Structures are given as C-alpha cells and as structure tokens.
A and B are shown apart, each in its own frame.
Chain A
Amino acid sequence: MGIYDFTVKTSKGAEKNLGDYKGKVLLIVNTASKCGFTPQFEGLQKLYDAYKDRGLEILGFPCNQFAEQEPGTGEEAQSFCKLNYGVKFQIFEKGDVRGETAQPLFKYLTAQKKFEGFDPNHPIAAKLEAALKANFPEYLEGDGIKWNFTKFLVDREGNVVKRFEPTTDPADIAKDIEALL
C-alpha cells in the first residue's frame, strides 16, 4: 500500500485518487477547519505560490478534532473564527486525523513517519505541550497527529520523506521542498 493507492474526497464531495498526483512533490497537512492555529494557512499559501509551478501540490485536510481549544497560538485572546478565503491549494473533505476514526491516509502517514517531538525553540511549543498535557494527555502518546498543521512531505516517487510538527512554520519547510523539486 503506497500513498497513490488512497482515494479521498474533495471539499466539494468529488472522489480524488492520490495517484493523480504521481510525479508531484506533495505537502499533506491537517488544517484547522476554520478556527484554531490559522496563521499557518497564510504560510502554506506562500509556499504554494512560490513552488506550484515547479511541481508542488499542497493537500489540506480540515479536521475538527482540535478546533475548540486554542493553546498558545500567539493569539490567546482570540475567540473568533476567520474564514480562509485566500487559500488556493486543494482542500479536502473534513474528517478525523487521529484515533480509531482517523482517515486511512493519516493512519498511513503517521505509521510512515513517527512523532519525534516538538521543536522546543518554536514560540508555541511550550504552551502547546502544556495544554496537551492538561487537556489531552493521551494525544502526547504514540505517533498520532498531535495538533492542527502537522505536515508530511512526499517526494515525486510517493515516498513520505519527512514529518513536520505544528511547531515548524511553513516557511521553514521551503528548503526541504526545494531539495525535492
């Protein structure tokens, strides 16, 4: 079973076989559906603008599993949601990404690339870890998705080459993308 064997649904309900992306470099991301760690949407869009002509596709999978809690996004006071009208990359149907109800694609991705910890130097790392310990200690166990905006980089042959936690900003993935293009 490889990445190209998965079929997913677009946000408009159409079936999409990931085999259609053969030969592309992919960045697969579980996104906040509307609220949550949203500043990364902007960073992802910048990556897409910069590299789409060279063969990058970004695939966003909205998920509500982390939506209501907002630990340390840098906008702790925020208690509103903002639609992301500026996003041009492909967004798929909303679904679970962790636990037993996780979509098969995310079970596959997290089995391919394990959780190796948050980047402690990122400004949200300590707050995110503390909030998880307090509210969802089980999320910290195992290799499942920890929070919105976990990113998986896939090369042109379909190999999952790297996993980036929410504590890696999209801009810091640029060099890894360039290496694969």
Chain B
Amino acid sequence: MVKVYTIQSCPWCEKVKKYLASRGVNFTAFDVEKDAAARYACIKLTGMDGAVPVVTADDKTYVLDFDKEQIDKLLGI
C-alpha cells in the first residue's frame, strides 16, 4: 500500500496527493498532526519529526519532498 504522510495547510502535501492521483496511484493519506500512530511511523521512517510530505510503499524507503522524479522512481511508475 502506498502511504502519504501529510499535515493540513501544507501546499506540498496537496501537490503530492494530486500528482499521485493524476498518475492513477492508489494511496492512503495520514495526517501526522492528528494521528499519533502515523506521526510515530513517519518519525521512525525518516528520523524527522513533522517533516512532510513523505511517500512510501514499503515502510523502508521513502521520498520526502514534492519531487516527481524521485516519487516515480520509488513507486516504479
């Protein structure tokens, strides 16, 4: 499952979500401000607290940033 960690009022998070949708990627978005478990999982993944958007498919490798090229590579799209 592709996961996107986000916060509200984050333009880059919106861009990532729109981009994934435009590429037909099914994903689940988690708000790390509201969801403590997601915040913990995101910190564990990136080592950073509250830096978003983060995209991951395997909970091991990730892309932090709205970086289309890296996201394409990560997801193989």
Write the A60-89 contact mask toward B (1 if CB under 8 angstroms, else 0): 000010011000000000111111110000
Which B residue's beta carbon lies closest to that of A84? B50
Dominant secondary structure of chain B at its interface with chain A: loop
Contact A34/B10 with A81-B52, A83-B33, A85-B50 known, Cβ cut-off 8 Å = yes
Does A94 make an interface contact (CB < 8 A)?
Answer: yes
Q: What is the total number of residues of chain A having a CB less than 8 Å from a CB of chain B? A: 15
Is there contact, CB below 8 Å, between A83 and B9? no
**How many chain B residues touch A (Cβ–Cβ < 8 Å)?**
19
27 example contacts (A-B, Cβ-Cβ < 8 A) are as follows A34-B7, A34-B9, A34-B10, A35-B9, A64-B9, A67-B11, A78-B65, A79-B12, A80-B12, A80-B51, A80-B52, A80-B53, A81-B7, A81-B10, A81-B12, A81-B13, A81-B51, A81-B52, A82-B48, A82-B50, A82-B51, A83-B32, A83-B50, A83-B51, A85-B49, A85-B50, A94-B9
Instruction: Give chain B's interface residues, CB within 8 Å of chain A.
Output: 7, 9-13, 15, 32-33, 48-53, 64-67
